[in-house]
Chain A
Amino acid sequence: MGLEKVFQEIYQCLIDLDRDCVLEGVKKALDMGASATSILLEPMSRAMNEIGRLYEEGEYFIAELIEAASIFKDVLGMLEDRLVRESKGLGGARRLTIVIGTVKGDVHDIGKTIVATMLQAQGHRVIDLGVDVSAEKFVEAVKKYNADVVGMSALLTTTARYMREIIEKLEEEGLRSRVFVVVGGAATSREFAQEIGADAWAKDAVEAVKLVEEFVKRVRGRR
């Protein structure tokens, strides 16, 4: 079997959420001499994009997203050492540090946790601050982890208002221009994101991942 066919198998198995089949395929591909980077960038990422598309159509749902992210994480675990080795040689794909949390006053964490899980599956370093997170905590984490992206979530319109304060606090501390700010959650909208001075609005987890990937490309383009 050619490598191309094995990649196709990995792609299809991940879409079908067949964990064993994906892991087997990845092993096969490695045996055949494929690089870990190519496995990630080709069948794995392509399958995640397709899963995202299926989610947007309603064909797939939250359980499928989480399942896919979990398989992705397993594969990442399997490839970790190789990725480090390969990236030393190649300069590597830039992965980001992302600080994420549900804002102060709000305790709803499902949406935020799904986003965090999916971003982690993409290989980013995700610092999940949990729920009821104050502006101070966001600022502290951005400094401590030298974050590239800040993700904020709120379910209620009453608590979403607090996002503005967090952005203002980032400004005050001189951190605003350093981070890409994405907001999301049922209480938010594109207009709302614009109004409070965020960089982007994600209507769901799939969109959040896409936005971050686009940001990665832009960052990479710059360097």
Chain B
Amino acid sequence: MDQVKITIPGHGVYIAPKGVNLGRFLASKKLLPLPCGGRGLCGQCIVRIIEGEVSSPTVYEKLRPGIGGEYRLACQTRVLGDTVVELIYKPRLVVPRYSIEIAIEEPKPIYRLIPYREVLTSYKELLLSSSIEGDLGGVISFNRVAVAGVREECMGEINHLLVDLGTTKIAYQIVDNNAKLVREGIVLNPLLSYGSDIITRLTKAVESRKAAIEMYNELNKTLPSLARENKCIGLCMVAGNSVMESLFLKMPLNTLAEKPFQPYLRGPFLHFLANNIPCLVAPLISGFVGGDAFADLALAEYLKTPTPYMIIDLGTNTEVILVASRNPVEVYVTSAPAGPAFEGHITAGSIMGAGGIERIWLKGFNDRGEAVFEYRGSPTGLLGSGVVSLVAEIVRNKLVDKRGRIVKGYRVVNGIKSFAITERPRPIVFTQIDLREFQKAMAAVKTSWKMLLDKAGCDPGDLRIVYIGGTFGSFIDPLDAMLLGLVPPIELSSIVVAGNMVLPGLKTLLFNRKHYKYMLELLPKIRHVNLAEEKDFMNKWIKNLEFNALD
């Protein structure tokens, strides 16, 4: 077959078969993620073809502003001759601005450490995996408490790896046996090249066994690499959403992909990484309320948060947990398909990881009466947090009416009302249609927390604490979130912007046996509310499309 040379300044020269899809090729080299899975929909894989012969633009490219001439969507481009390509997408890791750091009192790991040779002699019949023959220890499960065999020289200085297996990024901490932080970091999720959202990845994995195995392999290669220079990891503890955990464990996916939308198994799971490190994987509460939400809840419960309280993890999939009371146990969870408006799928959208405008203020109006904005971040696109602050600003300043019709400060471009955020280096706009997308996401979130409060017979005013969890939430001003109804209206002092709650949550589970047991006993008592199947969901959702602040 004919071959072509693809030169990427700053990265190297690659040889590929003629006609190769540039997006898929770059993704396979980990140079570019394909947020929508290479379907030409998200417009994130922009490249500049400096020279060379490529296929002509597809309809997806013709529809997208800013694409044309040298600028192409890699996933829509086939390489027909030797080419030189500049990458426009610059992956960037977004670290939560806040995270709760908690001290564990009298930390004691939930599993027992014994020298490796004792495992081989005393517990041999209980070994769960032949991987024990390898370099490090294995785990034996007794009544939900495990024993890990470790190499002799590690007995005194054992470490633990905590992993938040996020959709976009993987955050991790290595802690010592006293729960003290040794090292922490964040890497991009290797599955970004299979799509930026879990539904796209799930679809790929369900359609192709090969893709599912590739994804499994990628994850099981990435996790050990986090611990690589640390030889004395006793146990790794992982939490992620149901799709990520299922892919990581190679669990059947059909039950997640369609009705009943529940995980095949609930866990907790015991798994071995490629380098034989035993791995405890947090249990899944339901299909779209996963092990990460379980870890969030573990943290809030460890802190003995006064009830009733709520945890809201905002994102494309927003999870809401309401702990109405502890005695008797009354815990409700739900998830809201907030949709892609929070993460990029708007006219000038961008995603976490790609960078963009994260905060916007209304500065005033120019002499044509058009709103003028100030912003923070790089003017390459609008991040979800930028969109939230923008919508809050236009609501606060009454540039829209209650139903979301733009009434002031706009200009009309191609018959559509829009706000111009900036002109340079490329125009970034937010249109009436983008606002409509945002309203749908907002209504889904609003309906979800309201529905849980209704179930428990609580009013927003009863809530003692509302945690806003997750990276996205940590970039949002709580006042904006409240104004738009993304969180219940309560005293500002009762809102905790907690950032990443998963890692500290895992820590509470790992180092306190009583708490771990308590959480596992709580698990079956958690009531999952499926919004889509709730009576009257549609009418409530439609009502919640409105901006209540403009009542």
Chain A residues contacting B432 (CB-CB under 8 Å) are: 57-59
Check if A34 is an interface residue, CB within 8 A of chain B. no
Candidates A58, A60, A106, A158; contact of B416 at CB < 8 Å:
A58
Chain A residues contacting B431 (CB-CB under 8 Å) are: 58
Q: In B514-551, which residues have CB < 8 Å from any A CB?
A: 530, 532-533, 537-538, 541-543, 545-546
Check if B114 is an interface residue, CB within 8 A of chain A. no
Check if B415 is an interface residue, CB within 8 A of chain A. yes
For the complex, give the distance between the alpha carbons of A105 and B435 in Å: 30
Of B19-27, B82-90, B195-203, B305-313, the segment with at least 4 beta carbons within 8 Å of chain A is: B195-203
Q: Could you tell me if B403 and A158 are in contact, using CB atoms closer than 8 angstroms? A: no
Q: In B247-289, which residues have CB < 8 Å from any A CB?
A: 257-259, 261
For the complex, give the distance between the alpha carbons of A108 and B531 in Å: 9
Check if A127 is an interface residue, CB within 8 A of chain B. no
Size of the chain B interface, CB-CB below 8 angstroms: 35
Chain B residues contacting A108 (CB-CB under 8 Å) are: 337, 532
Chain A residues contacting B259 (CB-CB under 8 Å) are: 104-107, 132, 159
Candidates A63, A104, A113, A186; contact of B545 at CB < 8 Å:
A63
Q: Could you tell me if A64 and B403 are in contact, using CB atoms closer than 8 angstroms? A: yes
Check if B436 is an interface residue, CB within 8 A of chain A. yes
Which among B261, B339, B406, B417 has the highest number of chain A CB atoms within 10 Å? Answer: B261
Chain B 376-417 near chain A by CB (<8 Å), digits 1 or 0: 000000000000000000000000000111100000000111
Check if A124 is an interface residue, CB within 8 A of chain B. no
Chain B residues contacting A104 (CB-CB under 8 Å) are: 258-259
Size bracket of the A interface: 20 to 34
Chain B residues contacting A132 (CB-CB under 8 Å) are: 259
Candidates B416, B537, B541; contact of A57 at CB < 8 Å:
B416
Q: Could you tell me if B542 and A62 are in contact, using CB atoms closer than 8 angstroms? A: yes
Chain B 429-463 near chain A by CB (<8 Å), digits 1 or 0: 00111011001000000000000000000000000
Main secondary structure of the interface of B (DSSP, over half): helix
For the complex, give the distance between the alpha carbons of A113 and B545 in Å: 17
Check if A206 is an interface residue, CB within 8 A of chain B. no
For the complex, give the distance between the alpha carbons of A61 and B537 in Å: 18
Check if B206 is an interface residue, CB within 8 A of chain A. yes
Main secondary structure of the interface of A (DSSP, over half): loop
Chain B residues contacting A131 (CB-CB under 8 Å) are: 532
Which among A61, A104, A132 has the highest number of chain B CB atoms within 10 Å? Answer: A61
Chain A residues contacting B533 (CB-CB under 8 Å) are: 107
Q: Could you tell me if B541 and A61 are in contact, using CB atoms closer than 8 angstroms? A: no
Chain A residues contacting B200 (CB-CB under 8 Å) are: 157
Interface residues, chain A, with chain B CB atoms under 8 Å away: 57-64, 66, 104-110, 113, 131-132, 155-159, 161-162, 186
Interface residues, chain B, with chain A CB atoms under 8 Å away: 199-200, 202-203, 206-207, 257-259, 261, 337, 339, 403-406, 415-417, 431-433, 435-436, 439, 530, 532-533, 537-538, 541-543, 545-546
